[in-house]
Amino acid sequence: MIVNLICVLIFLAFGISSIFLAYNPDYFLNLIKTSILDKNFTFNLRMQFAGIGVIFILFALKIFGVFFGFRKEKVIKLNTKEGELIIFISAIEDIITRLLNSKKELTHIRPQVKMVKKNIDIVIKGNLTSEINILDFVSDAQREIKERLNNILGDKEIKIKFEIRKISSVKNKPIVEEVQIPFRNY
């Protein structure tokens, strides 16, 4: 981890210094002429150093993103004594959806599961269809989801966040059926 950070800092330093040299090439040219060469440079050093600097900075940002986890994991890997187990995140989202579909109070369920380091972060978006105590409902649902996932995955750190988008109350209205009048369309 520290080696990766040092590598990123070195590439950033080279990139920034190359861009600095692109904007102030006279200092660098005088340094090269006095210490190394006595030739006149005929090519455009500004463009070359600016290009090198941009490449170094982009490479440093790429390394930073790869090593520090700015990518979305699509699987959860578990190690057992006999080998490795890979569970797709979509399978866990399906389990959560099936578990919450049994509750009539919650509709339009959209779970999003993310694997962050060794933790599982779950965001569940949905609508409530009845006016209930939201805190009790959410804590019961969180407890059920954690129990189910801990049974499946073992002891993992699971964080569950609910986002209630809409609360609508459905009142029991009597259903009035329209009586079909025979031959009314003729």
* Rounded percentage of the chain residues whose pLDDT exceeds 70: 72
* pLDDT at 66 exceeding the cut of 60: yes
Give the structural domain span for 96: 75-167
How many residues are given for the chain? 186
Do residues 39 and 13 both lie within one domain? yes
Q: And the tokens for 94?
A: 């399906």
d(CA 154, CA 168): 37
Q: Would you state the pLDDT for residue 40?
A: 46
Q: Would you state the pLDDT for residue 96?
A: 92
Which domain CATH number covers 122? 3.30.70.1350
**Cα 136 from chain centroid (whole Å):** 29
C-alpha pair distances (Å), 179 with each of 176, 182, 184: 9, 9, 11
Domain boundary pick from 25, 43, 67:
67
* pLDDT at 55 exceeding the cut of 60: yes
Three-state DSSP at 77 gives strand
Residue 182 lies in a domain: no
